């Protein structure tokens, strides 16, 4: 079976078991010791390396996907954008689970669900202060992929949760991808919180996320992902 390289994602073992694909977990250096853009530079380097070494790793360089959750999604999305702008490696799919795509703007979902819904806005602000060097970097496309160029990037799975503070910016990124002609499979899960897909013992919808990923990757194997697929809600 074709193999895929993945960036940061919660519960890698479960994803590997659910999809039957190889998972490559990138041990990039973390903030606050290594602030922006160090993590971005290292995940892009890792993607380039996996692409170049795919044959020796038993992988198919034409079927490399990137994936992440939350902040890790911003890195995965940036890798997909950089694959296009650099032209030195390719990404076949991106899997974005409850993605953080915009460090700069406020959103209604942050105001409504930014407290007492597992992921707090205060924590996001704390992370921004330790990851970014200045307020100006919040709109840097390498930090916030919503401000990047999405044309030509790989087809995407975007999962959002109704009660996630990051819901609106994740869906805004889906809209950017669609407007740029990118194939998008988007699911908003009603009644769910951030990271619900990693809590399958509690939330049955988490199993559905892995089934969705497996379905879309299967279509990638068959070469049947093209065009814009739009939005749907669970």
pLDDT, tens digit (0-9, with 9 covering 90-100), for 47-99: 999 999 999 999 999 999 999 888 899 999 999 999 999 999 999 999 999 99
Taking every pair of Cα atoms in the chain, the longest distance, rounded to a whole number of angstroms, is: 48
Q: Report the pLDDT value the prediction gives residue 221, as an integer from 0 to 100.
A: 73
**Torsion angle (degrees, nearest 10) of CA 69, 70, 74, 79:** -10
Contact 173, 105 (CB under 8 A): no
Instruction: Tell me: pLDDT of 198 over 90.
Output: no
Long-range contacts: 17-23, Cβ < 8 Å, 24+? 18/210, 18/211, 18/213, 18/214, 19/210, 19/213, 19/214, 19/217, 20/214, 21/217, 22/57, 22/58, 22/59
Tokens 């749907």 — which residue? 232
């Amino acid at each position: 079976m074709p193999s895929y390289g993945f960036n940061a994602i919660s519960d890698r073992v479960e994803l590997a078991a659910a999809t039957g694909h190889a998972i490559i977990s990138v041990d990039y250096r973390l903030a606050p010791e290594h602030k922006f853009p160090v993590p971005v530079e290292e995940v892009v380097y890792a993607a380039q390396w996996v692409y170049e070494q795919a044959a020796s790793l038993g992988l198919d360089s034409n079927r490399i996907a990137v994936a992440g959750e939350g902040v890790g999604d911003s890195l995965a999305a940036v890798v997909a954008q950089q694959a296009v702008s650099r032209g030195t490696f390719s990404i076949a799919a991106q899997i974005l689970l409850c993605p953080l795509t915009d460090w700069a703007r406020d959103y209604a979902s942050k105001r409504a669900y930014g407290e007492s819904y597992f992921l707090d806005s205060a924590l996001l602000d704390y992370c921004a202060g330790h990851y970014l060097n200045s307020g100006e970097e919040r709109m840097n496309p390498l930090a916030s992929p919503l401000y990047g160029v999405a044309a030509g990037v790989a087809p995407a799975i975007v999962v959002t949760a109704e009660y996630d503070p990051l819901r609106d910016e994740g869906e805004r990124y889906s809209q950017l991808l669609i407007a740029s002609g990118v194939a998008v499979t988007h699911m908003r899960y009603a009644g769910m919180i951030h990271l619900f897909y990693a809590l399958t013992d509690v939330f049955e919808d988490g199993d559905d996320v892995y089934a969705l990923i497996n379905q879309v990757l299967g279509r990638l194997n068959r070469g049947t992902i093209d065009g814009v697929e739009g939005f749907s809600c669970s």
